[in-house]
Structure 1
Amino acid sequence: MPSPTGSQPQSPGAAIASPEAEDITADPHLGDETDSAAGDEVAESTSSLTDSIFDYRKIHGRTFQSSRTTEYWAPIDNQQVEGLDITHHFLTLLLDDQLFLAPIGDNPQTVLDVGTGTGVWAIDFADQFPSAEVIGFDISPIQPSWVPPNLRFEIDDAQLPWTYKSSLFDFIHIRNLHGGISDWPALYRHAFRCTRTGGYIEHLEFNIRTLSDLAEPDHIYNRWNALFAEAGERMGRTFQIYDQMQSHILDVGYVDVVAKTYKVPIGGWAADKKLKDVGMYTLLFLDQSLEGFALYMLKNVMGWEYPEIQVLVAQMRQGLRQWKKWQPYYEIKLVYGRKPESSRSAVDA
């Protein structure tokens, strides 16, 4: 069965080797025809909450969120919320029904979920550890009101100075904030200050590039990838944190840093049953999310007209539905590290 490749724990200042994920074995019974009908198978800180947190805007009927420091690039409407929950499902499946990989032990007491989104990870964690106090925060108030009694949600902006006490949390969890943070080293410094001695940080991010070992250089996958990379740099909130997170976590002072990289298929072309299921959920998520991803980035950042965006989205959707022909995939990286017993103080940003 395909498995991730993990780097060995490293001490601060150690050279960082880029971990390679194992290749995905294709299903030998997969037809090589272009399956254009594949879509048919796709079943401010807490103390300074202001009205700006609820400053929603519409782009061609889709709802987006802005805060004092951030205009977030992905929608927060029902369609996108459903996509976030699908993402949680296939990530948990990918990790063999685990919510995290950091060795936090069986009795964490204080846990923070940064950029909690729909709150589904925090809800599942709170259910799994009923004695823990779990906090999830996000700039968007899209979390449910009925939650486990040991969980609370807060409206907050991770880019503002954190108001949590130093050395408070046993575990700080971060996931899928690519394109949302302008100063990643500052965020990690906040996290390091708020992690207790011996506590852990864990960060999971997607490499947003759709990859294929079969597609030509001018394929829609590569054109889409280049546009998003450029748009992220233009707005000053990189989508390339996937490539930087391990070094940043080491730089702020965490030790025993471990990185694991996974190749994740798009569509059901993998031979492995688990990866085949993950791939179909991934296709479902992308198929319904492409327009939401493209609208803000291409219209507001790149200056495209709406008809141009519609054409590109249709081409990308068609390309993804041709998964039998192109065998697309992307990569996910998960990095965790421990705050050492004796550590330098993290400097507040």
Structure 2
Amino acid sequence: MSTMMISLASSVTRYRYENGRRYHAFRDGQFYGPNDDKYASYEMVVHHLWLLTLDDKLFLAPIDDPEMILDVGTGTGLWAIDMADYFPSAEIIGTDLSPTQVTTAPPNIRFEVDDACSEWTYPRDSFDFVHVRGLTGCVRDWPYLYEQAYKHLKPGGYFEHLEFSIDTNADPNNPAHAHQMYTQFSNSILSLGDNRTGMTFRTIRHMKSYMLAAGFVDVEEHRFVWPIGPWPSDPHLKDMGRWGERNWADGIEGWVIALYTRVLGWTYEEVQGFVKEFRKVIKDRKNHFWHEVRCVYGRKPFPGEVVESGGKAEAEGGAAEV
């Protein structure tokens, strides 16, 4: 290995250690979440919760026999690895700011350290499917990312984006849905994204419009509910609620500790006190909380295909420039 390659490899693993957690080194500060073992365990919970949401499907877009798949923000690579097993003849690429993916991956997958918010360096029209999941609060310019996905998809390829809402149904006027801590948390995180970091946590509200504005056609939006706690009577929702409770209980420290200490100036002790009290609220069976998640996908039109109004153009004379 050359000296330059060793230097590059060491620079992306020269992690930031802060408040007992570990964070990515490449493009330091771009992502608020840790990349340590605790966060890897949390990602397993979230992956399972998405599988429950989609009825054990890895995607909803009508893709068939893809050759090239890109997973943007792959994290530990769980989704990408499952896709590599599901499509053994496809080449899967998973990108992330951290090289913390599982090492025992199938032979048809590779992981790359990259920042999806920068210009993508793949050739145009490379991928049959581009997948993004759970990057709310991490992207400063979502329309640009959508344009990059459009540019690098083959004509007829699909882009699928899945996100969660920070807002819950916590309502101070409803005893079954009331807790001041929940509303304060949602408001503080939304305000941080809007006014301090420039990376919105309201992504879920705009995914369909981003998709249409980028030029995608056959755009579909699917909305789901994640209960927080096993309070629903429906057996499937009750099971999801158990995992939804774990999602919040296991995830809350990683969600807030960097944002609250770096941006709001909280101390470590203040964050830990908040996390402890917040977990009590989550586990309180009197609270019937839920929040929304959405899956939006769209197809890149073929050359010459007529595009309905609202897309990039009325007729595509070829692959549109982005």
TM-score by length of structure 2 reads 0.88
Structure 1: runs of 5+ lacking an equivalent = 1-45
Structure 1 stretches of at least 4 aligned residues deviating more than 6 Å after TM superposition:
none
8 A contact 1:119–1:144 mirrored in 2: yes
In the alignment, is residue 235 of structure 1 matched against residue 194 of structure 2? Answer: no
Partner of 1:149: 107
Residue type matched to 1:154 in 2?
E
CA-CA distance at 1:211 after TM superposition? 2.4
1:321-332 maps to which residues of 2 (within 5 A)? 321-322=283-284, 324-332=285-293
Equivalent pairs: percent with the same residue? 42
CA distance in 2, matches of 1:291, 1:115: 20
CA-CA distance at 1:53 after TM superposition? 2.7
Q: Residue 76 of structure 1: which of 27, 31, 35 is its match?
A: 35
1:271 and 1:263, CA in 2 relative to 1: closer, same or farther beyond 3 A? Answer: same
CA-CA distance at 1:67 after TM superposition? 2.5
| Deviation sequence 1:49-92 (CA, Å, 0-9, x none) | 56543342122111112423743101111111101111101110
CA-CA distance at 1:281 after TM superposition? 1.2
Larger deviation, residues 337-346 vs 262-271: 337-346
Partner of 1:225: 186
In the alignment, is residue 308 of structure 1 matched against residue 283 of structure 2? Answer: no
Partner of 1:42: none
Partner of 1:110: 68
Q: Residue 96 of structure 2: which of 103, 120, 138 is its match?
A: 138
CA-CA distance at 1:167 after TM superposition? 0.6
Q: Residue 335 of structure 1: which of 276, 290, 296 is its match?
A: 296
CA-CA distance at 1:306 after TM superposition? 2.1
Larger deviation, residues 135-144 vs 50-59: 50-59
Residue type matched to 1:251 in 2?
A
1:56-67 maps to which residues of 2 (within 5 A)? 56-67=15-26
| Deviation sequence 1:285-339 (CA, Å, 0-9, x none) | 22122112111011001111222222222221111111x2121111101000000
CA distance in 2, matches of 1:226, 1:335: 25
Q: Secondary structure at the match of 1:326?
A: coil
1:333 and 1:346, CA in 2 relative to 1: closer, same or farther beyond 3 A? Answer: farther
User: 1 or 2 for the larger relative contact order (CA 8 Å, sep ≥6)?
Assistant: 1
CA distance in 2, matches of 1:98, 1:221: 31
Structure 2: runs of 5+ lacking an equivalent = 304-315
CA distance in 2, matches of 1:325, 1:201: 40
8 A contact 2:193–2:200 mirrored in 1: yes
Partner of 1:256: 218
CA distance in 2, matches of 1:292, 1:56: 16
In the alignment, is residue 168 of structure 1 matched against residue 126 of structure 2? Answer: yes
CA distance in 2, matches of 1:222, 1:255: 36
CA distance in 2, matches of 1:255, 1:193: 14
Q: Residue 194 of structure 1: which of 142, 147, 152 is its match?
A: 152
Partner of 1:32: none
Residue type matched to 2:282 in 1?
L
Partner of 2:44: 85
8 A contact 2:170–2:179 mirrored in 1: no
Q: Residue 254 of structure 2: which of 282, 292, 296 is its match?
A: 292
8 A contact 1:231–1:298 mirrored in 2: no
CA distance in 2, matches of 1:331, 1:311: 27
Count of residues in correspondence between the two structures: 299
CA distance in 2, matches of 1:217, 1:282: 18
